[in-house]
Amino acid sequence: MTTPQHVAVVGSGALASSLCRSLASLAPPRRPDTDPITVTVLARNLDAVEQLVRDCRVRTAVGGTAAVFTARPLGDEAATLAALQPAVLVCCASAQSPYEKATRPSPWTRLVEQAGFGVTLPLQATVAVRLARAVATASPHTLLVNGCFPDAVNPLLAMLGLPVLCGIGNAATLAACLQAALGLPDQRRLAVLAHHAHLTEPDDPADEVRAWLDGAPVPGVSALLAADRAQPRRDLNAIAGHAAARLLTDLLSGAEVHTSLPGPLGLPGGYPVRLTGGAVALNLPGLDPAEAVAWNNRAGRPDGIEVGDGRVHHLPRAAAALEAYLPEVAHGWAAADYDTVRDRFCDLRSRLRPVAPALV
């Protein structure tokens, strides 16, 4: 059986670090009658994880919070989960950094820019797929929460028949920003329909984030989000981690949670939801679920893909960019072929990365 207060976080990058530091601050106060939240941080880079854990231990000591942090190398996923049996497993690691364009520009990053971020889906999903497979076989009571492009990765997991509760970041980040802008103490009265693509203001105002307060549409969403969207993406990542930490502490406490999250129930994009007892349900304000899904698919078109009906569809922009490199999957691929497609994209990235940016 799972340990009720145990969270396992996979990753050592910006999102994992933000999430863990916020968990250290947001955990319940330390009292003799309080069971601490146990946080196991897992990654291939054990040095980075140990440094993060030391930081979090200092924060819990100073804050007097009931959280215990442990570092552990990530080896075989199934064996690790079989041993840990966490209540919640959070994936904050992928095979493709969203910051590569800035840190390692190459013909590969130029292709991604031309095709849209969605073309990296096979790489974004690499760790999440492995973890979901391990949950299914070795720790079926564990709730998987995915922080790597959940707007598209979570639907892929669902099409593969793999478990995933919801995502973090993206719609959750935008909902947190709107909560603050509206001066709300929580999100019980707020409902947000938003996609990963909405981290940037859309070209057409008609495609903007949809938000409701007490069931009534919120006006001026673009203005409310403008200052937050102007922040560097790493700062938005910190907000994502903080909002995710709040979600996890509420989940572990057994409280009913009203919020907005990406990829709930394996759906594309982000939706207002209600979480109770480890189960998630849509909490749409008078909106038909099919209409909400269709809206998210339209909103996500700037990413260059659409996920559903057992396939990943590359939209015209992405298909044109991929045609010269991977014509066999340029127009899309079946979810069932994920492993083969992932290998093809890994090979393509390896071919394009070594070329010096000056030659592009």
Last-in-domain residue among 167, 197, 222: 167
Give the global pTM.
Answer: 0.95
> Which tens digits make up the pLDDT trace of 190-216?
999 999 999 999 999 999 999 999 999
Sign of CA dihedral 254, 256, 261, 263: positive
Judgement on whether residues 8 and 34 belong to the same structural domain of the protein: yes
Number of domains in the chain: 2
Considering the domain architecture, whether residues 176 and 280 belong to the same structural domain is answered as: yes
* 39: DSSP letter: E
Tell me the three state secondary structure of residue 38: strand
What's the confidence (pLDDT) of residue 2?
A: 58
Percent of the chain past pLDDT 90, that is, above it, reads: 91
Give the separation between CA 220 and CA 176, rounded to whole angstroms.
16
Query: What six digits make up the tokens of 129?
Result: 């797929």
Query: d(Cα 150, Cα 237) in Å, to the nearest integer?
Result: 14
State residue 40's pLDDT score: 98
- Asked whether the predicted pLDDT for residue 360 surpasses 70, the reply is no
DSSP secondary structure string, 116-174?
-GGGGHHHHTHHHHHHHHHHHHH-TTPEEEE-SSHHHHHHHHHHTT----EE-STHHHH
**Do 104 and 161 fall into the same domain?**
yes
Contact 165, 278 (CB under 8 A): yes
Mean pLDDT over all residues of the chain?
A: 95
If asked whether residues 41 and 142 sit together in one domain, one would say yes
Model pLDDT, residue 318: 98
Sheet of 332-334: strand order equals 305-308, 311-314, 332-334
Task: Note whether 106 and 177 are same-domain residues.
Answer: no
Which tens digits make up the pLDDT trace of 151-189?
999 999 999 999 999 999 999 999 999 999 999 999 999
Q: Looking at 303, 327, 353, which one is the last position of a domain? A: 303
Q: Range of 79's domain?
A: 3-167
CA angle 294, 148, 222 (to 5 degrees): 55
CB 165 within 8 A of CB 344: no
- Do residue 149 and residue 184 come from a single domain? no
- The CATH number of residue 215's host domain is 3.90.110
Secondary structure element (H or E) that encloses residue 223, with its range:
helix 221-229
At residue 359, the pLDDT reads 39
Report the Cα–Cα distance between both ends of the chain, in Å, rounded. 53
Contact between 174 and 192 (Cβ < 8 Å):
yes
pLDDT of 314 reads 98
pLDDT single digits (tens) 324-359 = 999 999 999 999 999 999 999 999 999 999 765 443
Task: Give the model confidence (pLDDT) of 64-81 as tens digits.
Answer: 999 999 999 998 999 999
